[in-house]
Amino acid sequence: MSTEMNNAFGPLAEKLLTPLFSQLLINVKVMNVSAHICCRRIVTVLVMISTPAISLFLFLYYFCPHTRLFQCTQYSKMVPIICDSVLKSKSAMCRKRCAEYIELIFQVWDVNIISKNLSILEASIKSGINDADSETRTFSRQTYWLYHEYFTKNAEK
């Protein structure tokens, strides 16, 4: 649905994120991974590409990650929900996954939409960098450098 509806899917995606985050906490791997894949698809949805273009796409995806080959549901009201999970969740898995989603947001979303929620994104990046989980810290450090690329003055504070 996110692929077809793009930003019109935003209000529904906002409602789906909280139940999906609760599924990230389940120890049953099938449920956990399915919820993670669904959240990733909501944040970033791949543009449909034809079969001959797959090799070009894979080359660009792996070697030029900042090319805008992505189309997604860029709905600014989803950002606080994701950031709150990084800031407030007691689950290391949920914090790690949400830090990954924030990194994807910085990689894929338009800078104007990111700037609408800049203060909470800054707080979640800081929280992620100081997190107890090493993978959460790694995602947050990578996000910081993307943040630094777009908002240099704010990052240097």
Q: Regarding predicted confidence, which is higher, 60 or 37?
A: 37
Across 55-64, average pLDDT: 46
User: What three-state secondary structure class fits 71?
Assistant: strand
Across 116-128, average pLDDT: 94
Q: What is the pLDDT of residues 15-45, one digit of tens each?
A: 777 787 788 777 788 887 888 887 777 776 6
pTM listed for this prediction: 0.70
Burial 125-147 (b: 16+ CB within 10 A, else e): bebbbebebeebbbbbebbbebb
CA distance 23 to 139: 21
Segment among 7-16, 119-128, 142-151 with least mean pLDDT: 7-16
Q: What is the pLDDT of residues 61-119, one digit of tens each?
A: 444 444 343 346 677 888 898 899 889 989 898 899 899 999 988 988 888 889 999 99
Residue-level pLDDT at 50 = 36
Across 55-59, average pLDDT: 45
